[in-house]
């Protein structure tokens, strides 16, 4: 559930921009999609679940946000190329790519299969590269309202669990390379929290957090908004 905190940015800070967000129909990705749209951007969502995509687009359109969704798997180069081209054809340009798609599950190192390890790397790491690789020519191309020299922007949503040893997370730690991106800590109301720590984050854990509370999806969306706008 999105917070009602007032945005520190002007409502038109992304006016005329087009953003493609992988994993943009749920969790942090959907909050980024929503906030980008509320601040003037047109958004394209990429994901594997048709119903989730359709539901997300309906919500965005109900907020008068120009939104479209394309089914696709970031692990597949053909899907990446198709979704990016479809986004370009639909909106006439692409200014922003947000790689928010991720895969994760709990597994002890000795129980983690090579296929499970490969799956997470293919989504989080290779998938991010694939999307960037396929989108680069469109981000450089420019379009209506943007010269090719002004370039585009890429945001990679990473994590913090690989900074130190994390139980049952060797596969994700390997996938989360250091990039110029956003690395969320524990964020409430996300699939990651419900899957990985449904009950562990209690009062004791919160007492160890600098702000004594879990982060919000809105916090991450605001950071992304800052980094892709002229303010950043």
CATH class of 18-228: alpha beta
Query: With contact defined as beta carbons under 8 Å apart, do 2 and 34 qualify?
Result: yes
Is there a contact between 224 and 154 (Cβ–Cβ < 8 Å)?
A: no
Tokens of 16: 């005329």
Tell me what pLDDT residue 186 has: 82
Domain limits, the chain: 18-228
Widest Cα–Cα separation across the chain = 53
Write out the H or E segment, with its range, that includes residue 88. Answer: helix 77-91
pLDDT of residue 1: 46
Q: Could you tell me the pTM of the whole model?
A: 0.75
Neighbouring residues of 54: CB distance < 8 A, sequence distance ≥ 6: 69
User: Residue 144 — pLDDT band, cuts 50, 70, 90?
Assistant: low
The helix (run of H) or strand (run of E) holding residue 225 is helix 217-228
Q: What was the pLDDT predicted at 150?
A: 59
pLDDT score, position 80: 98
More confident call, 216 vs 150: 216
Q: How far apart are CA 104 and CA 101, in angstroms?
A: 10
Alpha-carbon gap, residue 123 to 118, rounded angstroms? 9
Spatial separation of the C-alpha atoms in residues 103 and 107, rounded to whole Å: 13
The mean pLDDT of the chain is 87
User: For 109, which DSSP code?
Assistant: G
| Residue of 106 and 69 predicted with greater confidence | 69
pLDDT, position 196: 75
Mean pLDDT throughout 140-155?
Answer: 70
**How does pLDDT run across 52-72, given as a tens digit for each residue?**
999 999 999 999 999 999 999
């Amino acid at each position: 559930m999105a917070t009602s905190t007032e945005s520190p940015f002007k409502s038109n800070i992304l006016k005329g921009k087009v953003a493609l967000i992988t994993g943009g129909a749920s969790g942090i990705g959907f909050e980024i999609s929503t906030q980008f749209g509320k601040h003037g951007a047109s958004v394209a969502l990429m994901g594997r679940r048709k119903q989730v995509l359709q539901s997300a687009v309906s919500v965005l359109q109900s907020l008068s946000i120009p939104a479209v969704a394309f089914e696709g798997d970031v692990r597949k180069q053909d899907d990446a190329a198709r979704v990016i081209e479809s986004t370009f054809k639909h909106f006439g340009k692409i200014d922003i790519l947000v790689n928010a798609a991720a895969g994760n599950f709990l597994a002890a190192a000795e129980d983690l299969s090579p296929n499970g390890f490969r799956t997470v790397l293919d989504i989080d790491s290779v998938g991010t590269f694939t999307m960037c690789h396929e989108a680069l020519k469109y981000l450089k191309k420019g379009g209506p309202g943007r010269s090719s020299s002004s370039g585009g922007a890429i945001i990679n949503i990473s994590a913090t669990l690989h900074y130190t040893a994390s139980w049952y997370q060797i596969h994700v730690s390997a996938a989360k390379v250091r990039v110029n991106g956003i690395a969320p800590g524990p964020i409430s109301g996300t699939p990651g929290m419900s899957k990985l720590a449904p009950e562990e984050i209690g009062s004791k854990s919160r007492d160890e957090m600098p702000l004594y509370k879990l982060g919000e999806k809105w916090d991450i969306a605001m950071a992304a908004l800052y980094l892709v706008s002229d303010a950043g």
